[in-house]
Amino acid sequence: MTTNKGFCASVCRCFFEYSTPQILVIRSTKVGTLNRIIQALVLGYVIGYVCVLKKGYQDTDGVLSSVTTKVKGVAVTNTSDLGLRVWDVADYIIPPQEESSFFVLTNLIMTLNQTQSHCPENVGFDCVTDSDCKAGLSNTRGDGVQTGRCVNFSSVARTCEVLAWCPLELDLQPPDPPMLAGAENFTVLIKNSIRYPMFNFNKRNILPHVNKTYLQQCVFNRVTDPDCPIFRLRDMTTEAGEDFQTMAVHGGIMGVQISWFCDLDLPASWCVPKYTFRRLDNKDPENNVAPGYNFRFAKYYKTNNNKETRTLIKGFGIRFDVMVFGQAGKFNIIPTLLNIGAGLALLGLVTVVCDLIVLTCMTKRNLYKENKYSYVDDFELLPDGTP
């Protein structure tokens, strides 16, 4: 019983013990000033960088976004093949809808009335006799399957005959100026709804103070109309430092960046999108193949005798990738406590740094050492181990 009671009391005593380090206070102008300067630096860092700049007292969330786009405008082309022709949105947006991107046709090479038949390959597959061609061969860089015959390409050149969509597309440079030069005046309405799920905060890039009438006639301008979500294509390339007409010849990729960085401790109306534009592909002609952006597509028809023909179009154009990014922050007790804790821990490091300086550089370092340190000696192995 006595042992038990003694043990119990001992545990109790232990439970009510509070251990706190013994402190040596050095009263010295030099040492004190040094200490306060280092403390001020750490406090300045914690308050200035962690709290003010990085907003360490906030919880943050990433943006969820949905984008729709709608291009408007018509362009005219005048070619010997097609005559005067008007291109509208159903003609030049390919494919007609994408998730967060749209492609505007600005230039094209058309090959009309192709049928599955035989014709001479383009220059590059030259031959002299049939033995230079191999029936059934289909080269990756060729346009069809060789029939094994060598035929006249022109009055001077002979090339291997192929089974292909004939006549073949001529491997030409794209027209310059671009066929749909008028595309620079097209406008695009970009509708963007965002959501910060953690804070249940929704917003869209058509701001509350913008009304229908304004939207029906405005065009984005960084100075005069910064809230208008309708962009003229030429303005976007100009902001990115590119010339629309030059870019339109070979095509390219434009990034439309919408950033939503919001401090939700401030009024919600201060959370507005910021638009920036940047060319994403590399226009440097060196070390490059197929500069710009183009792809081939076809329109298929059937003739009266049920034979399939197609119009092949090598379309050059600008793909606009709408990229939405952002982050929202709002006060939360947990990150606040974490950052206060980390700040206090950093203050503890002040002592480490000050001790280092005080005990090695100060003239009275031996006085300080004597008072700071006590010693227990326990050197069995070292005979001369006297302090």
Using CB under 8 A, which of 1, 90, 156, 172 touches a second copy? Answer: 90
**Following DSSP, what letter does each residue of 275-336 receive, concatenated?**
EEEEE-S----TT-SS-S-EEEEEEEEE-TTS-EEEEEEEEEEEEEEEEEEEEEEEE-HHHH
* Distance in Å, CB of 128 to a second copy, minimum: 23
360 near a second copy, rule: CB under 8 A: no
Which bin fits 287, alpha (ψ -120 to 50), beta or left (φ > 0)?
A: left
Pairing mode, strands 201-204 and 252-263: unpaired
72 near a second copy, rule: CB under 8 A: yes
Using CB under 8 A, which of 56, 144, 326, 329 touches a second copy? Answer: 144
Using CB under 8 A, which of 11, 37, 298, 361 touches a second copy? Answer: 298
Using CB under 8 A, which of 1, 24, 223, 333 touches a second copy? Answer: 24
67 and 184 Cβ atoms separated by less than 8 Å? no
Which residue, 156 or 346, has its beta carbon nearer to a second copy? 346
Positive or negative torsion for Cα 262, 263, 266, 268: positive
Q: Please tell me what DSSP assigns to residue 221.
A: B
Residue type (1 letter), 15:
F
Q: 384 vs 370, 374, 376, 377, 379, CA distance in Å?
A: 21, 19, 15, 12, 9
222-281 residues near a second copy, rule: CB under 8 A: 253, 255, 280-281
Which residue, 1 or 27, has its beta carbon nearer to a second copy? 27
For residue 43, what is the enclosing H or E element? Answer: helix 29-44
Kindly give, in sequence order, each residue whose CB lies less than 8 Å from that of residue 263, ignoring residues fewer than 6 positions away: 55, 58, 270, 271, 328, 329, 330
Say how far apart CA 28 and CA 24 lie, in whole Å: 12
Which residue, 67 or 155, has its beta carbon nearer to a second copy? 67
Which residue, 127 or 181, has its beta carbon nearer to a second copy? 181
Mark the segment that binds a second copy (CB under 8 A) among 153-161, 171-179, 260-268, 297-305.
Answer: 297-305
Using CB under 8 A, which of 132, 238, 351, 365 touches a second copy? Answer: 351
40 near a second copy, rule: CB under 8 A: no
Which residue, 99 or 360, has its beta carbon nearer to a second copy? 99
154-213 residues near a second copy, rule: CB under 8 A: 163-165, 182, 185-187, 189, 191, 193, 195, 204, 206-212
Using CB under 8 A, which of 40, 52, 86, 361 touches a second copy? Answer: 86
Using CB under 8 A, which of 3, 4, 29, 360 touches a second copy? Answer: 29
Nearest one of 316, 312, 327 to 294, comparing CA atoms = 316
26 near a second copy, rule: CB under 8 A: yes
SS3 state at 349: helix
364 near a second copy, rule: CB under 8 A: yes
Mark the segment that binds a second copy (CB under 8 A) among 153-161, 170-178, 266-274, 367-375.
Answer: 367-375
Q: 79 vs 110, 178, 247, CA distance in Å?
A: 10, 12, 21
142 near a second copy, rule: CB under 8 A: yes
Using CB under 8 A, which of 1, 3, 4, 21 touches a second copy? Answer: 21
Residue type (1 letter), 61:
D
Using CB under 8 A, which of 7, 270, 331, 379 touches a second copy? Answer: 379
Contacts with a second copy by CB under 8 A: the residue count is 137
80 near a second copy, rule: CB under 8 A: no
Using CB under 8 A, which of 51, 59, 70, 336 touches a second copy? Answer: 70
Which residue, 128 or 345, has its beta carbon nearer to a second copy? 345
Residue type (1 letter), 79:
T
Please identify which residue in the block is written with the tokens 């917003």: 203
